[in-house]
């Protein structure tokens, strides 16, 4: 009977070892995917920042055009 008990412990030890290796490799691949996604997000945020600055400049240009148009057309035609 002692032989069977020891054999079961060895089997459990091997299965625990196999079970712990799988989650480690799975976690490693998930960490790699997370790292890649974070790099993509960082790049997208950088591009969004550049685009927001360009949109700000575009808004300034449009504001200037509207002010120039109101001076050319006169205040009466703008209010109608």
d(CA 28, CA 24): 6
Host domain of residue 39: 2-79
**Residue 67: predicted pLDDT:** 92
**Over 80: is that where the pLDDT of 30 sits?**
yes
**Which of 14-23, 45-54, 66-75 is predicted with the least confidence, judged by mean pLDDT?**
14-23
The domain tally of the chain equals: 1
**pLDDT score of 55:** 97
pTM, full prediction: 0.54
Question: Taking residues 51-60, what's their average pLDDT?
Answer: 97
């Amino acid at each position: 009977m002692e032989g069977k008990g020891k054999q079961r412990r060895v089997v459990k030890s091997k299965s625990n070892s196999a079970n712990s290796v799988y989650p480690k490799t799975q976690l490693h691949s998930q960490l790699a995917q997370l790292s890649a996604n974070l790099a993509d997000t960082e790049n997208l945020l950088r591009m969004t920042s550049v685009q927001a600055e360009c949109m700000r400049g575009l808004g300034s240009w449009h504001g200037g055009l509207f002010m120039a148009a109101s001076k050319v057309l006169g205040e009466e035609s703008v209010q109608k």
